[in-house]
């Protein structure tokens, strides 16, 4: 899943792709690099980010989805607003990625009624304050309990299980130890019975572990994190660096492929 930010303040590539034409060219480049899905977001969810209005978010993402829809690559809408979910699916998106796990009023019903696939992600708190002092007794089991609760809510609202994807939410209300524990144990989350999505690309934990590198210098660390995720059972990796990630995963695929020996 290639990341297409149409925001002026995303932490990693913020500002680079905020004109409509540049966002479109960036999306096309990620398709050329081999992205299987594009995740289009018009609201930054980085720690400390301010919220954007409905009008601004719609203006950023809907024209882009209209332009990308004919290219036949599945499109994901990264939003927590029910109006944006509805408009994005109408414009051609087939996947809803809500870091608030459909907690906003009306979001659960909008997502279920849209017919799209749905990624529900774990977050402790909210982006403005989530990194202040996150605390867990057992991060993996608490994340799993949260995700099971949202699965139950979705299925009670009429969502087919085959539409659901789960995400532990790296960096969303988690310190470095929490993130590493989750990554080490991510295979356990597959026991819930749904495909997993993981987003580690260029995240601050990778900067911390490699000597406080800036987001653009976290590419090699991001490849390692994506590879570890997939080796541990993750189905979809949300990444900035599609070509590099694909090459790494091709090597993994060649090694695990049964060659009869």
- The footprint of ligand 8Y7 on this chain (CB under 6 A) covers a number of residues equal to 15
CB 196 within 8 A of CB 167: yes
CB 258 to ligand 8Y7: min, Å: 31
Among 119, 143, 166, 196, binds ligand 8Y7 (CB under 6 A): 119
Q: Which residue has 């988690």 as its token pair?
A: 174
CB 211 to ligand 8Y7: min, Å: 19
Q: What are phi and psi of 46, to 5 degrees?
A: -65, 160
Annotation marks residue 246 as catalytic? no
Q: Tokens standing for 43?
A: 């609201």
Candidates 59-67, 156-164, 184-192, 195-203; binding stretch for ligand 8Y7 (CB under 6 A): 195-203
Among 37, 173, 199, 242, binds ligand 8Y7 (CB under 6 A): 199
Helix or strand holding residue 198 (H, E): strand 197-198
Task: Give the nearer residue to ligand 8Y7 in terms of CB position, either 112 or 179.
Answer: 179
Q: What are phi and psi of 3, to 5 degrees?
A: -90, 125
Task: Give the nearer residue to ligand 8Y7 in terms of CB position, either 24 or 131.
Answer: 131
Pairing of β 164-167 and β 117-121: parallel
Annotation marks residue 81 as catalytic? no
What are the Cα distances from residue 125, in Å, to 55, 101, 258? 25, 12, 43
Of 164, 220, 209, 207, give the one whose Cα is nearest residue 189: 164
3-state helix, strand, coil in the chain (%, to 5): 45, 10, 40
CB 259 to ligand 8Y7: min, Å: 34
Among residues 60, 163, 203, 218, the one annotated as catalytic is 203
Helices 82-91 and 54-68 pack at an angle, to 10 degrees, of 20
Among 91, 164, 196, 197, binds ligand 8Y7 (CB under 6 A): 197
Task: Give the nearer residue to ligand 8Y7 in terms of CB position, either 98 or 255.
Answer: 98
Q: Is 76 in the site for ligand 8Y7 (CB under 6 A)?
A: no
Binding mask 205-244 for ligand 8Y7 (x = CB under 6 A): ---------------------------------x------
Whether the CA torsion 73, 74, 80, 81 is positive or negative: it is positive
Task: Give the nearer residue to ligand 8Y7 in terms of CB position, either 169 or 173.
Answer: 169
Enumerate the active-site residues.
203, 238
The binding site for ligand 8Y7 (CB under 6 A) comprises 41, 45-46, 78, 97, 99, 119, 121, 167, 169-170, 197, 199, 203, 238
């Amino acid at each position: 899943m290639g990341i297409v930010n149409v925001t002026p303040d995303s932490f990693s590539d913020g500002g680079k792709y905020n004109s409509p034409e540049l966002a479109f060219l960036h999306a096309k480049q990620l398709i050329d690099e081999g992205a299987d899905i594009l995740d289009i977001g018009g609201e930054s969810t980085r720690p400390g980010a301010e919220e954007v209005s409905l009008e601004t978010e719609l203006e950023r993402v809907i024209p882009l989805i209209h332009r990308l829809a004919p290219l036949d690559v599945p499109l994901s809408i990264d939003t927590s607003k029910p109006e944006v979910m509805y408009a994005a699916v109408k414009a051609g998106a087939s996947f809803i990625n809500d870091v608030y796990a459909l907690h906003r009023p009306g979001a659960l019903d909008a997502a279920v009624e849209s017919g799209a696939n749905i990624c529900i992600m774990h977050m402790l708190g909210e982006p403005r304050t989530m990194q202040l002092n996150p605390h867990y007794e057992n991060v993996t089991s608490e994340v799993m309990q949260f995700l099971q609760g949202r699965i139950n809510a979705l299925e009670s609202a009429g969502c087919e299980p085959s539409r659901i994807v789960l995400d532990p939410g790296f960096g969303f209300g988690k310190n470095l130890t929490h993130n590493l524990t989750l990554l080490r144990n991510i295979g356990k989350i597959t026991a819930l019975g749904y495909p997993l999505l993981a987003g580690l690309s260029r995240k601050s934990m990778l900067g911390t572990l490699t000597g406080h590198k800036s987001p653009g210098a976290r590419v090699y660390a991001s490849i390692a994190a994506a590879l570890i995720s997939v080796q541990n059972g993750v189905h979809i990796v949300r990444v900035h660096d599609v070509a590099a990630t694909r090459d790494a995963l091709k090597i993994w695929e060649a090694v695990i492929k049964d060659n009869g020996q």
